[in-house]
């Protein structure tokens, strides 16, 4: 069932972006932005094939759903400008997903670390992902003369809010991880870990 949902989301995103690219008269930057979803939504599949990593359909679903949300709805369908809170919502979700990605790394590496180190690792990975994303947006601004960080409008305010809401998403996952591990509860994080195995 999840595999079918993944395929449907990928098809909607790819066909939708191609349709928008063909039907709208726009600059090369917008065309590249719209068509790039073909790569981004399939990136995990590509990584899986190149590096022979076993990534199950549940993890793939989380990734595809995030890219569908952030890239297709946010960028291509223009939700970032149409819905004022959509950018912060997306960065908050990215904090949650990058934290789950950090847990994925901890589980797959089979390193027996203590709880404090694991929480430090989870938060560090999330902040690294948020910082790299903001550097990517800044680089796009410089190369293509666009303003995804809304620097002209907000200064560094938007960038800092994006990093902070990603951090908050990571704090929530870290707290859940801590309490589930400390009291040996089988809730969201342990269910996520069981999906990985």
Both 34 and 123 in one domain: the answer is no
Measured between alpha carbons, how far is 67 from 46 in angstroms, rounded to an integer?
15
Instruction: Residue 168: give the domain boundaries.
Output: 84-197
Per residue of the chain (197 residues), give pLDDT as tens.
788 999 999 999 999 999 998 888 678 777 888 889 999 999 988 888 898 887 788 788 889 999 999 999 998 999 988 999 999 999 999 999 999 989 888 888 877 778 899 999 999 999 999 999 888 877 877 777 776 666 666 667 788 889 999 999 999 999 999 999 888 888 888 888 777 66
pTM above 0.85, yes or no: no
Intra-chain end-to-end CA distance of the chain, in Å: 19
Both 107 and 144 in one domain: the answer is yes
Question: What H or E segment, with its residue span, contains residue 107?
Answer: helix 86-109
C-alpha dihedral sign at 148, 151, 154, 158: positive
Is residue 102 within 8 A of residue 110, CB to CB? The reply is no
Q: Which of 65, 81, 97 is the last residue of a domain?
A: 81
Both 11 and 44 in one domain: the answer is yes
Measured between alpha carbons, how far is 191 from 176 in angstroms, rounded to an integer?
12
């Amino acid at each position: 069932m999840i595999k079918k949902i993944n395929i449907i989301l990928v098809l909607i995103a790819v066909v939708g972006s191609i349709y928008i690219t063909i039907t709208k008269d726009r600059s090369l930057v917008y065309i590249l932005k719209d068509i790039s979803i073909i790569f981004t939504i399939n990136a995990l599949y590509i990584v899986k094939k190149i590096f022979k990593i076993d990534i199950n359909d549940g993890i793939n679903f989380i990734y595809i759903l995030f890219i569908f949300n952030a890239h297709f709805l946010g960028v291509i369908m223009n939700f970032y400008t149409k819905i004022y809170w959509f950018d912060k919502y997306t960065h908050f979700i990215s904090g949650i997903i990058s934290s789950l990605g950090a847990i994925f790394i901890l589980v797959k590496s089979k390193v027996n670390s203590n709880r404090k180190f694991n929480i430090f690792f989870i938060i560090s990975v999330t902040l690294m992902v948020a910082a790299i994303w903001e550097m990517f947006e800044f680089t796009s601004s410089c190369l293509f003369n666009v303003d995804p960080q809304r620097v002209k409008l907000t200064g560094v305010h938007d960038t800092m809010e994006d990093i902070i809401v990603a951090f908050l998403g990571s704090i929530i996952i870290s707290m859940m991880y801590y309490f589930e591990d400390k009291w040996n509860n089988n809730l969201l994080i342990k269910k996520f870990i069981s999906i990985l195995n």
